[in-house]
Copies of this chain bind each other. A is one copy, B any other.
Amino acid sequence: MKLEGLSLLGSGRVQPGGAPQTAVESATGVALEPKFYWASPADVDRAVKLATAAFGEYSRWSPSRRAGLLRRIAELFEANAPALIARANQETALPVARLQGETARTCGQLRLFATVLEEGSWLDARIDRANPARQPLPKPDVRSLLVPLGPVAVFSSSNFPFAFSVAGGDTASALAAGCPVIVKAHQGHLGVSELTGLVVQQAVRDCGAPEGVFSVLFGPGREVGMALVKHPVIKAVGFTGSRAGGRALMDASAARPEPIPVYAEMGSINPVVLLPGAIAQGPEKLAENLAGSVCLGVGQFCTNPGLVLVENSAATEVLLQTLEQAITAMPAGTMLNENISAEYQAGLKKFAQLPGVRRVSGTPVAGHNRATPTLFITAADQFLAQPELMTEIFGPCTLVVRCASRPVLLAVLEKLEGQLTATVHGLPEELAASRDVLAALANRAGRVLVNGFPTGVEVCPAMTHGGPYPATADGRSTSVGTRAIERFVRPLCFQNFPENCLPDELKDANPLGIWRLVDGKLEKD
């Protein structure tokens, strides 16, 4: 696989055009080879036309054939992992060990969707049999299942160059659903995007899929990205990134003649409530674990715990002292890219200037894109009075809010926006007695955790990685876990169809052996 710096259009490449762009090594700022070229509006149009042409055939592929494509992508990704990891390490400064783990996760996701396709219950196949003798009117034969929406635009995230990027969860779930995918590559890891694109392109070829099922476009979000979202044949959008970026896509979709679903995962501050019993039981250990979660991966997770709520007590003082020491002692890390590093510094500066907010951090370290772990401490009344404190600082940083009492804690929770996650630490008996806290967290989050930390999102059928706005554009969706496939489908109903015109999933004999709701009862045989 050789980098050419060119967008991938179906089975081909875009010709170079416009000013050449430079990819840089995050840890040094040094330019990397080759130069990259942005896609033009005409390229966007060609990619979309290819995707439309591919949809007719690909949407009718059998589940097992689609599963084969996903598995082939995983195989080729693994086969090319050394090159992918090396380039990702250069472009994002993420450590090799982390990137090895992310390789496993990315390939695991692809294979998980393959098993989902073969298991088949996700299709929600339903059959209501006819009853010609029913009075006063005969009952028709009505059947339905979920069908793909059409071509999907996927916007890669910066912080997972594999798992939320070109062949990441959005791409895997959209391809699984039967939708062609056009990826708008993230500008922070252009080389990885091209390499991954080549892997998928090869898999598409190997599996005999129509070429337009997959393209990767390089270019700025405001131009290439917006052209995609506004294109009439694009039927859904997947995005992981900033709130401003996600909202811009939502607004662009809402202004289309035909609005389309936008699934934007926009991050959150992921509140962690530490109940008094949990603190008293072991304040030092809790503080150390918390500091570890805050600084994991240089704090560059959407689920990073950016807000910690504690009630005041003697043990709370011990917890906070330990937390100060732990955060101060944490080594500085290199952030993903210059934009993210600059925004982290700006966020720290903004918080530090607010009244009633104390800042604790280690000594800054020289070096490109270096982030110093930082702790802020404030009181509930200051927090409630300054809504800026509810905004996310993306990086190794958290804000502790001291609450004088349980009612104050609940008042703070009531003010929080929608969140990806919310966490509570408590002893068994205090959890059972804290239904009010659990309910307040559940009302505003997509995932609630007990006695754990939100970083680390398990990829499994029950996972939700999504939450009420503004954590995600659409709190009814998740971008991690097998429910992610449901974002790209709609129900289609067949009335009085002859058996030979029905899709296999809805034929009387159930040739695919999938679970179906027949006359209101789930059955498989």
Contact = CB atoms under 8 A, between A and B. Distances in A.
A466 B431 CA distance: 43
Given A258-B469, A431-B501, A494 B461 contact: no
Contacts of A493: 446-448, 462-464
A171 B390 CA distance: 35
Interface in A470-488: 470, 473-476, 478, 482-483
Contact-residue size bin, chain A (C-beta under 8 Å from the other chain): 35 or more
Contacts of A497: 448, 450
B520 A522 contact: no
A458 interface: yes
Contact of A461 (B128, B254, B432, B498): B128
Given A250-B259, A458-B128, A501-B438, A452 B492 contact: no
A199 to B, nearest CB: 24
A142 B458 contact: yes
A137 B448 contact: no
Q: Is the interface of A mostly helix, strand, loop or mixed?
A: mixed
Contacts of A438: 501
Contacts of A519: 461
Contacts of A500: 428, 432
B119 A463 contact: no
Contacts of A510: none
Given A489-B476, A491-B446, A127 B462 contact: yes
Interface in A80-134: 101, 115, 119, 121, 124, 126-128
B258 A254 contact: no
| Copies, count | 2
A387 interface: no
B476 A261 contact: yes
A139 interface: yes
A249 B496 CA distance: 35
A143 interface: yes
A495 B250 contact: no
B490 A458 contact: no
Nearest to A475: B490
13 contacts: A127-B462, A142-B463, A250-B259, A251-B254, A261-B476, A428-B500, A432-B498, A442-B492, A445-B492, A448-B492, A462-B493, A463-B493, A476-B491
Cβ-closest 7 pairs across A and B: A254-B254, A464-B493, A126-B462, A447-B493, A449-B495, A128-B460, A144-B462
Given A121-B517, A250-B254, A428-B500, 4 more contacts: A126-B461, A140-B452, A142-B463, A432-B498
